[in-house]
Structures are given as C-alpha cells and as structure tokens.
C-alpha cells in the first residue's frame, strides 16, 4: 500500500506540472523502468525486421512498413495519426552483382565482393572490363585529366580515418567519394567507378549507399568493393599498373512511387503550438534488415511516446513521432515534411533524430543557438546517472536537418559508434545484431529528453 501511495503522488506531480530536480529525476527513473521492464521497442523491431524486412523506397516492403507504423501508432492511441504523401524514387538492385580482377600477373583472375551503389545504372549484358586507375581524392582526377582516365575504371580508395573516436566523423570525411565519385569521374571519360566500402572494418562485406549523377552528364555504373578486396586490388596495382577489372550489374531505376511519412502525436496541454519532433527513417537499404539503420531509430521514437502515455504523463508541449520515408536515397520525405511545416507556419522548437544505430546511449549532439545548447546541457543533472554524459554541440541528422532554416534546434541521438559502420548499409545489418537492453536504454534516454523539453521548452 505504501508503494502505491508513492506512485500516486509521483503521477500527481507530473499532471499538475509542479517540478523540481528531485521530481525530474524520479520521473526519469520511472521512464527507464518502463523501458527496461515493460518496453516494447525490441518486439516492434523484431516484427519490422523479420516480418517485413528491408524497406528500400518504392518497394512493397516499404509500403508494408508504412502501414505497420500507422497501425502501431493507432494501437497506442496517440492523439493523432496521419500519413503524409510523398513521391519517392524506386531503384531496384537486380539479382546480378559480380566483380573480378582480371589476369593479374600475381594471382590470375580472382572474384572480389562488390555491390551496386544505390541509383547506379546497369553495366549491360557483357559487363564492363577496363584498366583501373586508383585515386584517393578528386584533385587527383584533375591531375590525371582525360588523358589518364578516359576509358578506365576509377578506383576510389580513401579509407575512413581511424583516428576519429566518433566513427561518424570518419564516415563524413570519406563518403564524398561514394556519393559524388561517379559524377566526378564522368567528366574525364571514365567508364565506371569502384569505391572502397565506408567502414573501418577489414572484411569481405561490401557496403552500399547512395550515389549521385550529374543532372546533365553521362551515367556510368558504380559499385562498392569490400575493404579486403580494395586492399588486394591496391596492392596488385602497385606492381601491375595495367591491371584490368570486370564488373556486371543489372540494376535499374523505375518510375517514382507514392509513399508516405507516418506521423503520430501527443498534443500538448499548455503549449500545443510548440512542437517537439522525435523520429527516424522507415526506409532501409535492400541488403539486410535495416535493423540498426534505421529500424532502431523508428521504434525508439515510437517507444518514447508510448512510454509517456503508459505512465500517464501529459506533455505541456506537443510531441510528434515522425517516421520519414526515403532518407537513404533522396531525403524526399524529410523535404516534404519541412515544406509542409513551413507552409503551415508550424513552430518546431526541437527535433530529435535517432539514426546512428541501437547501441548503448552516450549522449546527444545539439545544433542550435548557444542558449538552447546551454539549456539542454542543464539536463545533465538528470542524465548523468544513466551514462548520458555527452551533451555537446553537434549535428542533428539528415532528416531533421531539413528544418534547419526554420530555426529549429536539431538534436542527434548519439549511441556508442564503434560497431555501427561494421554493419551500415550491408547484408550484416540484421535483427540478430540488436542488443535488447541497449535498444531499450536508448528509447528511455530519448523519452527522458522529450519529457524535459516538453516541460521546460527552449
């Protein structure tokens, strides 16, 4: 009976809005307890990964994921659930991805693991066979010029820099060669590009990801090569500069498809026009389950609202969970959401994105005015005991970044980053790589931040 009275007093303090550091800490404790004892994020992710699977924009699986998210939010009785229409690209990988080193003096002909980059054209039925030119940056393309590149395959082999402790920083400084490599190489007459996979791991798993063509330029096929394959190819080229490589792809781009962002919200009791967004992206590359990228972020965002509702917490400000569509190869969902928000004159005071995996929570990166940063850092009094010690200036995320010009404070959930790029955009990003407790801790951390922002604003 005594325990029941304590709980009643706690919930009463939540509803009346009378707060102190002590009550904030007590409420945070109940949020973590709910996530760790009665949490539903793991079960949600299991269904998303194993019953639906990969969810590339335009695919039947992406459509199924939209309906799943809508039904889940309705089931949790959020105050409002809606679908926001958006046209998305529909690229299909095809069933053929084959690459081999041809007639090397040292090892003869050897197959190496490759995969098409998202948006690549096919090679044609005979594939592409050409000499390989290795570079590590775009300046080297200019130095080689058309004379050195025309008719050849450009091999981008700049590794992610292992010196960065946060691996996202290493990724950000290497990914331009994947995204822009083909567009840059076509200027000099290249017939295709090979790009070292975006990972610090040395293995035989190629990492896909988006690539961009010049809007008026010639299109050439682009593939990712595994890091072991890249190291092998680079080593052979040192002794055999005339080395040839052969690749075959039958991917294609189909007409755009109607899809949706899925939006669920809990209306604020005192400041309903002030919106706090929390979200992730429903779409995922077609190589694995999209468990860490970004199924984890989606279920954590839904779970943040579910937890508050389950505990009877009535937020002062409106909290909105958004499942964005098409982050991976176009950001069309995010752009549509931002455009509609601007058109309606909506006042988002903060947007939180979880798109860095479902690993152990470490903190949040904040992009905004100094006053907002300072306010969020003051929440450390609540977060310290849960290992959330990294509340500092940072980058929010690709989807919420579309709201930047509307003056929104952008917040990126930052879990431990050391394993993320081992799995990112690969066939290895599967549900069995998810740790239930780590996922639940992340959902709880996001729910606490949402609660504090709702109570105190920015």
pLDDT at 393 over 50: yes
Q: Are residues 100 and 51 in the same domain?
A: no
Q: Are residues 213 and 326 in the same domain?
A: no
pLDDT at 217: 80
**237-253: buried (b, 16+ CB within 10 Å) or exposed (e) per residue?**
beebeebbbbbbbbbeb
DSSP result, 402-428: GGGGGTPEEEEEEE--TTHHHHTTSTT
pLDDT at 233 over 90: yes
- Strands of the sheet containing 153-156, edge to edge, are 108-111, 97-104, 244-249, 128-135, 153-156, 192-196, 222-225, 114-116
Residue with more model confidence, 33 or 216: 33
**Contact (CB, 8 A) for 281 and 333:** yes
pLDDT at 22: 62
User: Which one, of 389, 331, 38, lies nearest residue 210 by Cα?
Assistant: 331
Q: Are residues 26 and 147 in the same domain?
A: no
Q: Are residues 216 and 310 in the same domain?
A: no
Q: Are residues 279 and 407 in the same domain?
A: yes
Q: Examine the fold and report which residue of 250, 283, 314 is the final residue of a domain before the chain moves on.
A: 250
pLDDT at 441 over 50: yes
Q: Examine the fold and report which residue of 233, 250, 267 is the final residue of a domain before the chain moves on.
A: 250
Which residues are registered as beta bridge partners of 111?
Answer: 100
pLDDT at 15 over 80: no
pLDDT at 216: 72
pLDDT at 105: 86
Phi, psi of 97 (to 5 degrees): -140, 105
Average pLDDT in the chain: 94
pLDDT classification of 16: cutoffs 50, 70, 90: very low
With tokens 């996979």, the residue in question is 197
Q: Are residues 220 and 283 in the same domain?
A: no
DSSP result, 364-401: EEEES-HHHHHHHHTTHHHHGGGT--EEEE----TTGG
Neighbouring residues of 66: CB distance < 8 A, sequence distance ≥ 6: 83, 259, 260, 262, 282, 323, 325
pLDDT at 14: 40
Q: Are residues 76 and 152 in the same domain?
A: no
pTM higher than 0.85, yes or no? yes
Q: How many domains does the chain have?
A: 2
317 burial via Cβ count (<10 Å: 0-12, 13-18, 19+):
buried
Which residues are registered as beta bridge partners of 411?
Answer: 352, 366
Q: Are residues 313 and 403 in the same domain?
A: yes
Mean pLDDT of 286-290: 97
**Contact (CB, 8 A) for 91 and 58:** yes
pLDDT at 21: 54
pLDDT at 310: 98
Tally of residues, the chain: 458
Q: Which domain holds residue 57?
A: 2-89+255-456
CATH of the domain at 338: 3.40.630.10
Q: Are residues 130 and 243 in the same domain?
A: yes
pLDDT classification of 222: cutoffs 50, 70, 90: very high
pLDDT at 203 over 80: yes
pLDDT at 333: 98
> Tens digit of pLDDT for each residue in 313-329?
999 999 999 999 999 99
The number of angstroms, rounded, from the C-alpha of 288 to the middle of its chain's C-alpha atoms is: 14
**SS3 label, residue 79:** coil
Please give, one letter per residue, the 3-state secondary structure of 322-355: EEECCCCCCCHHHHHHHHHHHHHCCEEEEEEECC
Rounded to whole angstroms, the Cα distance separating 311 from 166 reads: 34
> Tens digit of pLDDT for each residue in 40-83?
999 999 999 999 999 999 999 999 999 999 999 999 999 999 99
With tokens 């010009």, the residue in question is 405
**Contact (CB, 8 A) for 304 and 446:** yes
pLDDT at 8: 36
**Contact (CB, 8 A) for 323 and 367:** no
Q: Are residues 363 and 265 in the same domain?
A: yes
pLDDT at 12: 39
Q: Are residues 104 and 84 in the same domain?
A: no
pLDDT at 259 over 90: yes
Q: Examine the fold and report which residue of 201, 224, 250 is the final residue of a domain before the chain moves on.
A: 250
Neighbouring residues of 199: CB distance < 8 A, sequence distance ≥ 6: 160, 205, 207, 227, 421, 422, 424
Q: How crowded is residue 405: how many other Cβ atoms within 10 Å of its Cβ? A: 9
Neighbouring residues of 339: CB distance < 8 A, sequence distance ≥ 6: none
pLDDT at 214: 87
CATH of the domain at 120: 3.50.30.30
Q: Are residues 371 and 243 in the same domain?
A: no
């Amino acid at each position: 009976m005594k325990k029941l009275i304590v709980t009643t007093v706690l919930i009463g303090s939540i509803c009346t809005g009378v707060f102190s550091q002590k009550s904030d800490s007590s409420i945070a404790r109940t949020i973590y307890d709910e996530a760790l004892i009665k949490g539903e994020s793991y079960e949600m992710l299991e269904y998303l990964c194993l019953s639906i699977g990969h969810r590339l924009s335009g695919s039947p699986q992406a459509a199924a994921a939209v309906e799943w998210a809508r039904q889940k939010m309705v089931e949790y009785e959020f105050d409002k659930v809606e679908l926001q229409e958006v046209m998305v690209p529909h690229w299909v990988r095809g069933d053929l991805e084959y690459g081999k080193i041809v007639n090397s003096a040292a090892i003869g002909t050897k197959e190496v693991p490759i995969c098409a980059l998202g948006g690549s054209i096919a090679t044609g039925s005979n594939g592409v066979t050409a000499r390989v030119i290795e570079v590590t940056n775009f300046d080297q393309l200019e130095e080689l010029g058309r004379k050195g590149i025309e008719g050849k395959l450009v091999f981008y082999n700049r590794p992610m820099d292992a010196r960065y402790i946060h691996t996202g920083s290493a990724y950000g400084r290497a990914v331009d060669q994947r995204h822009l490599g083909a567009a840059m190489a076509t200027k000099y007459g290249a017939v295709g590009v090979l790009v070292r996979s975006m990972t610090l791991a040395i293995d035989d798993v190629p990492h896909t990801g988006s690539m961009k063509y010049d809007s008026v330029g010639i299109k050439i096929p682009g593939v990712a090569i595994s890091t072991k394959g890249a190291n092998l190819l680079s080593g052979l080229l040192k002794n055999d500069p005339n080395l040839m490589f052969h690749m075959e792809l039958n991917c294609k781009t189909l007409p755009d498809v109607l899809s949706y962002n899925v939006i669920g919200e809990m209306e604020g009791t005192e400041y309903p026009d002030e919106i706090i967004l929390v979200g992730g992206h429903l779409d995922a590359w077609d190589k694995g389950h999209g468990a860490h990228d970004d199924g984890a972020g989606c279920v954590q965002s839904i779970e943040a609202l579910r937890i508050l509702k389950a505990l009877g917490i009535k937020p002062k400000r409106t909290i909105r969970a958004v499942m964005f569509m098409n982050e991976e190869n176009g950001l069309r969902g995010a752009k549509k959401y931002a455009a509609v928000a601007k058109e309606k004159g909506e006042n988002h005071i903060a947007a939180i994105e979880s798109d860095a995996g479902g690993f152990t929570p470490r903190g949040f990166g904040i992009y905004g005015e100094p006053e907002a940063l300072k306010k969020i850092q003051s929440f450390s009094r609540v977060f310290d005991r849960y290992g959330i010690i990294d509340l500092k200036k940072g980058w929010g995320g690709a989807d919420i970044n579309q709201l930047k010009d509307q003056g929104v404070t952008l917040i990126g959930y930052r879990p431990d980053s050391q394993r993320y790029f081992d799995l990112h955009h690969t066939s290895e990003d599967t549900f069995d790589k998810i740790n239930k407790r780590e996922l639940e801790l992340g959902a709880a951390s996001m729910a606490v931040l949402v609660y504090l922002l709702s109570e105190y604003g920015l």
